[in-house]
Amino acid sequence: MSENPWTLEEGRLALVTWNLNSVRVRTPRLIRFLKEHRPDVLCLQELKAEASDFPSAQVKEAGYEVEILGQRTYNGVAVLSRGPIVRKAEGLGDPSLDGQARFLVVETLGLHVASAYMPNGQSLESEKYAFKRAWLDGLNSWLRTSPLARERFLLLGDYNIAADDRDVANPDSWEGSVLYNDAMRAVVWEGFREGGLFDLFRVGEKRPGIYSWWDYRNLGFPKNDGLRIDHVFGTEDLVPLVRRGFVDREERKEKSCPEGTKPSDHAPLGVVIDPVEAA
DNA sequence: ATGGCATTGCAACAATGA
């Protein structure tokens, strides 16, 4: 008996983040997801495709506007919305970081919405981990300086960081990894907090054991050996509006797509909020 | 039940992911 996270009260908004792990491979799954659940805003990561290869026509036909920051092979992010979208920022404003398509900010439905694909880091000794720390420093600088981050701002995405023990099925085995260590927890709980952001998912859902990523290998999903590395943080003005936080585990199942498209290794994660007052 | 790694670019398999 699984609870349906998509029972949405009239007027409330569902804002969702989903690392798709290739938009071209999973287009049938994406379109079915949009038509079935009608999220108000959907942030995507790991498109692994240029904007010209994004299925924009099918997404529009499903009733969504879209803004894309694409890249061939790796990375790539987008924001979809049921309302009009205005593109506000792409990249963090640092050329040493913005060669990888990981950050896009739009305005839609009275909100500033960022779709972020934070670096993985690979291993503590890797150059990629140095890049991860630099990218996160760049994000913190952006949070402190951009007017977009001051109010009605949401940072949705694949953070590649588990925030606390509630987000990790086997904390002992993950402690000290690039996804889960003192420095990465400090980024979330000290850096983002000082940047004015609050954990909106945790406003609406306090229980442990809710994950958003499971390794394709070693029966990760059947054993529920997962991590919650996808998050929704946002500015303080949004905290009182949060009603729920949820993960749609159905989308991680093989059989949840009639077209037979395989699942991403991430499931969609979202928050339900009350509508923002008309300005 | 949810199932044992997947995607990309390339044209075999290396690089990458988390």
Residue ranges of the domains in chain A? 13-278
User: What pLDDT is recorded for position A4?
Assistant: 81
pLDDT in tens, A168-212: 999 999 999 999 999 999 999 999 999 999 999 999 999 999 999
Which conformational region is residue A123 in: left (phi greater than 0), alpha (psi within -120 to 50 degrees), or beta?
Answer: beta
Distance, Å, A22 CA → B8 C1' = 9
Distance, Å, A199 CA → B1 C1' = 32
Residue with the two structure tokens 């499903």: A62
User: What pLDDT is recorded for position A177?
Assistant: 95
Residue with the two structure tokens 């008996």: A1
Nearest to residue A178, comparing CAs of A125, A104, A240, A235?
A125
- Cα(A149)–Cα(A76) distance, integer angstroms: 21
Task: Name the pLDDT band for A21 (thresholds 50, 70, 90).
Answer: very high
User: What pLDDT is recorded for position A259?
Assistant: 74
Residue with the two structure tokens 């409330």: A12
Are A81 and A108 spatial neighbours (Cβ–Cβ below 8 Å)? yes
Residue A268 has pLDDT above 50, yes or no: yes
Task: Name the pLDDT band for A3 (thresholds 50, 70, 90).
Answer: low
User: What pLDDT is recorded for position A276?
Assistant: 87
Q: What is the mean pLDDT of chain A?
A: 95
CATH 3.60.10.10 fits A13-278, yes or no: yes
pLDDT in tens, A115-156: 999 999 999 999 999 999 999 999 999 999 999 999 999 999
Q: Which residues pair with A271 in a beta bridge?
A: A15, A245
User: What pLDDT is recorded for position A168?
Assistant: 97
pLDDT in tens, A37-75: 999 999 999 999 999 999 999 999 999 999 999 999 999
Task: Give me the percent of chain A exceeding a pLDDT of 70.
Answer: 98
Distance, Å, A149 CA → B1 C1' = 42
Q: Which residues touch strand B (CB under 7 A)?
A: A 19, 21-22, 24-26, 46, 48-49, 72-74, 119-120, 122-123, 128, 158, 160, 179, 213, 215-219, 221-222, 224, 227, 229, 253-256, 262, 265
Residue A1 has pLDDT above 50, yes or no: no
Residue A80 has pLDDT above 70, yes or no: yes
DSSP state letters, A133-150: HHHHHHHHHHHHH-GGGS
Give, as ranges, the nucleotides of chain B with any atom within 7 Å of a protein CB.
1-9, 16-18
Q: Is A106 exposed, middle or buried (0-12, 13-18, 19+ CB in 10 A)?
A: buried
CB neighbourhood size of A99 (10 A): 11
